[in-house]
Each structure stands twice: as structure tokens, then as C-alpha cells.
A and B are shown apart, each in its own frame.
Chain A
Amino acid sequence: MMRRALPLLLSGALALLYPLLVSGSAVYQRLGALVLLSAIGASAWNLIGGYAGQVSVGHAVFFGAGAYAALAGYAQFALPPIAGAPIGVAVAILIAALIGVPTLRLSGHYFSMATIAVAELVRVLVTNWEWLGGAQGISGPAVARTVLDLSFTSAVPYYYIFLAVLAAILFITWRIEKSRMGFYLRAIKDSERAARSLGVAAGRYKLYAYMLSAGLTAVAGALYAIMFGFIDPESGCGILISVKMLIMAALGGAGLLFGPLVGALILVPLEEISNSLLGGKGAGLTFVVYGAIIVVIARFLPSGLLALFTGRMRPARKPAATEPSHAA
């Protein structure tokens, strides 16, 4: 425990001081906020995709629920965007319950495919839904009416809001990891059949993890909408949103507490650099880069980067006669 406490304290201190260390550069402050925001989404995904091994590729639905709820509340009822966030969380949990009951029965790749299908369906639905701005999307308040609008020119306030939310999510995840639910989720990931034979109500636990993951992903969506002040079908419910969460978690270490954060620390700066180098022309290339990363993870890092340090590295080729693993 002590061996882990020191690096943790140092990282925590560094995270708190980071905006001051780069106080001269608005670009780096913004980058820090973006890393944390991505880490929030990927950590939320990690609960169902990493710990329970149910690889959702449709979390954009929940992200979109949070993002749209925040800005629709403003556009339709002139509420501060943050007021819509709880509604987005509730909607996301409800959607998760509705699609989780039939789809979580599916195993492995079939679950992943079902989640993609649902997410694409929702994206098309939102694109044709005028109340939510249709294909044009909706904007938040152009200038802050009150401080409640959480509209700042500097990225530093966002940085600290995101840091607090990420800390809360990691704390929740850590508590789950140490509890019966955490053990059960890992057991379900390894062998659902064996888990059920030992009294694990696999269907129920997967659903709980899915709903919790969905609610927290909606928080990430709402925070995104608050910071950027604009959401459209692609940035709210596009498949890239889902894929990014998955890749970040898998790169850092799916099913590990700090895995998604490590993934975000690597991928978000990479993405910002490639965007600034390629400008607007790089949109299609992003998919190519993500595809390449997926190949590298699957081949060389099936347990993620963090596993290299925790000694939980799995051989790239698993011996035969074990159940197929669904991670990444």
C-alpha cells in the first residue's frame, strides 16, 4: 500500500499544480483540461468495458445524452447548461437499462456489434430531430449570463472542475474494485459460466455496471458541451466518441483503475498535435491512426501499457483451451 501511495501523492500534487506550471501557455492549459475530460469518459467506459469485459462501442449514446441535455436545457428553456446535466445522466441510465436488458445477454463480439448498431441508430435519430437542432446542432450561451453558465475564456476553471470529477469517478471505481461487485465483474469477464455456477447473478451485475457506466459517461458529455458550448450529431453521438473511449482505456489498461487516464495522457496530446499539423484535412486520417493503434494494442499490449508495470502482463498469444477473451 505504501509503495503505491507515494507515486499517487506525487501524481496528485502534479495534477493540482499543472495549470500553474504552464501558466504562460493557454494551449497547454487547454490540453490539460482536454486530457482530463477524455479520461473521465474513458474511466466511465472502463467500468463495463474494462472490469466487466463487455466491450461497448456505443457509449457515444450516453455521451450524447449528457451533452444534448445540457445544451437543450439552455436552447429550449434558457437554463444554465449544468442544470441539464442531471437530466442527461438520468436519460443515459434509462437508455442503458432499455438496451442493456436485451443486448447484455449477447456474448463477446455480438454485444459490441449491437451497441454500434444502437449508437448509429440514435445518431441518425438525433440528426433528424429538430428539437435537438437536427444536423446543425445546438449552441450554448455565447457569453456567460451568470457564473452558473460555467462559460470561461480560460481553460483553468474547466481543468479544476474536470480534475474534481475525474477524482470522484476514480474513487467510485476504486471502491467497486475492492468490493464484491468488483470481484464479480472480473469473474464475469473471465468466465461467465463459472461465475454463475458460484452464485454470481451475472445478468444483474452486468446491467448495474452498464447503467453506472452510462450515467458517468453522460457526465463527461455534459462537461464537454459546457466547455465547448456546441454540440452536433457527430461530436455528440458519432462513432469516434465511442471508439476513443475504448482505445484510451485499452491502451492504458482496460480493467485497471488508472488505465484510461494513462491512455488519455498519451492519445489526447497525440491527437492535438496531428490536428494542428494536418489542419482540417486530417479528419479522415484520424480513423487510420486509431485503426493502427487498435492493431498495435491487440498484437503487443492486450492488457495495456500499465500492465507492463503492475506485472499483470498477459502473453500476447494465450494458450489454447481457455475461453476466448473479449478485451480489446
Chain B
Amino acid sequence: MLLEAGQLTMAFGAFKAVDNASVAVNEGEVLGLIGPNGAGKSTFFNCLTGDLRPTSGTVRFADRDVTRLAPEERARLGIARTFQVPLTFESMSVLDNVMIGAFLRHHAAAAARDKALQVIGEVGLGGVAEASAKSLGTPGRKRLEIARALASEPKVLLLDEAMAGLTPAEIRAAIDLVRQIHGRGITLVIVEHIMEVIVSLADRVVVFHQGREIARGTPTEVTRNELVIEAYLGKRHAAKLSGGAA
């Protein structure tokens, strides 16, 4: 078990965005987190990265309790992330953005620069290394966030809707990139809306609905699960799908 959430609850006042969720991520796998809007995926995700401190429950990483650790301390242990709405460093070049990630393991500027250039090449941003980050479009920014996270040499990478806002062609390119990252032995947790992405990438899927886990299994298993169909489509449509007049 590389990353594990135990009975995690995140309440905002009386509202429980995440309600008693226990999810374990195995080393080397690609775990998908899906669910309709407002299911609590992002909140759960932010509890794993340390951006939110859960109301109760624990987060363990590599056999260590990290529930009380700040995001930067978790990054040092090997948890990296991207943001749903990219938070690129706007005043910097693409290279400088990635160097911020590389500085985590390479304290000298020259070494961080070498590491950053290597990662920039790997994710296919080599042509725009010197360009200003704010000159990039959405696909470029998403790629830059992945590069930045990879440069910190993580054990697990959490992608928060890394494909949202991309065209089908860009999605296919992004899927290839994620496969390539996984091929290097980095464990992945992906929050995603797009089923195609989940089906082609995830080994296992956990489905959230209204803050609770409602299903888990392989992508094909969960897409056939009635609770899941109901959560996405509502009861009436779900009944129609499962055979009409029963």
C-alpha cells in the first residue's frame, strides 16, 4: 500500500463533502476516482495532497501517517499533483516553472536546470522551453503542470482532471503521456470526468457519490454497476437502461 486514506471525513459545517471514505492505492497501479459533479472527488483528492486537513480519519503514505503534514512536506516524501484549473507560475518561462519542481531534489541551479530540461523534453514541451508560461494554451498548461510535478521526482502523481477542456486529439496525446509516465514506475491517481480516459488508463476505479464511495472495481465492472448508472443518470433513466418495463 503506497497511499491510503482511512475512514476519511471532510465536513464543511454540517455538510460532509467526503463521508467516511477508505481508499488504498497500490504501488505501481493507476487508480481512477470518478463520480458526478459534487461527488467529493476533488475534496478527497485535496485531503490526500494536504491542501485540506480532514475533519477525521487518516492519510498514510509509504507506511507513515501524513494526516497532519503540510502539502510541501508531502511533496518532499514523494506526493505530486496537478490542479484542475492550472496554477502555472505566470510571470515565469516554461523552463523556470519546471525548475521550481526540480529544485526539490536538486538544490544547485545548474542541476535543477538540467533536470527540468530533461523533463520538458520528455513531456513534449521542448520547443517552448524558453517561452513565457502565460503564452501557453490550456493543453500546454496542463502539460506544464505535469512536467513541473514530474520534475519533483514523485512516487505518486495525482492528476486532477488533467484532460478537462482538451479536444479529442489532445486527449489521446495526453493519454499517451500518462501511459509513458506510468511506464516509468510512477503510481497514478486520476480524477476524471471523461469515461474514455478512465477506461483506457485505470486498473481500478473507485466511484464517489454524495461524499460516499458507492462502488469499486475494474472500469468495466463499475460502468455496469446499477448504483453507478443511477448516480450518473438518475433512477428513471437507469431503469430504462436496465431493461425498460421490469
Contact = CB atoms under 8 A, between A and B. Distances in A.
B103 A197 contact: no
B170 interface: no
Contacts of A198: 72, 75, 80, 100-101, 104, 148-149, 152
A187 B100 contact: yes
Contacts of A202: 72
Contacts of B90: 190-191, 322-323
B88 interface: yes
Contact of A183 (B70, B75, B99): B99
Interface string B102-129: 0110011100100000000000000000
B99 A199 contact: no
Nearest to A315: B134
A183 B106 CA distance: 13
B49 interface: yes
A184 B91 contact: no
B100 A193 contact: no
Contacts of B89: 186-187, 190-191, 194-195
Contacts of B99: 183
A323 B88 CA distance: 10
Contacts of A312: 91
Nearest to A194: B87
B71 A186 contact: no
A212 B183 CA distance: 45
A199 B88 contact: no
A186 B148 contact: no
Contact of A193 (B87, B109, B152): B87
A201 B92 contact: no
Interface in B52-90: 70-72, 75-76, 80-81, 83, 85, 87-90
Interface residues of A, number: 25
A111 B102 CA distance: 29
B75 A193 contact: no
Given A186-B89, A202-B72, A180 B148 contact: no
A239 interface: no
Nearest to A190: B89
B213 to A, nearest CB: 25
A296 to B, nearest CB: 21
B80 A180 contact: no
B49 A197 contact: yes
A187 B88 CA distance: 9
B92 A196 contact: no
Given A186-B89, A190-B91, A323-B87, A196 B100 contact: no
Nearest to A178: B109
A200 interface: yes
B88 A194 contact: yes
Interface in A173-222: 178-180, 183-184, 186-187, 189-191, 193-202
A51 to B, nearest CB: 11
A321 interface: yes
Q: Output the residue of B91, B96, B109 with the most chain A CB within 10 A.
A: B91
Contacts of B203: none
A194 B149 CA distance: 10
B51 interface: yes
A186 B91 CA distance: 8
Given A180-B112, A183-B99, A187-B100, A199 B91 contact: no
A184 B91 CA distance: 13
A315 to B, nearest CB: 10
Given A190-B91, A194-B83, A199-B152, 13 more contacts: A180-B107, A183-B109, A183-B112, A184-B103, A190-B89, A190-B90, A193-B71, A194-B87, A195-B100, A196-B71, A197-B72, A314-B91, A323-B90
15 contacts: A180-B108, A189-B91, A190-B88, A190-B89, A190-B90, A193-B87, A194-B87, A195-B89, A196-B75, A197-B75, A198-B80, A198-B149, A199-B101, A323-B87, A323-B90
Closest 8 CB pairs of A and B: A199-B75, A194-B87, A190-B89, A199-B104, A191-B87, A196-B71, A196-B72, A187-B100
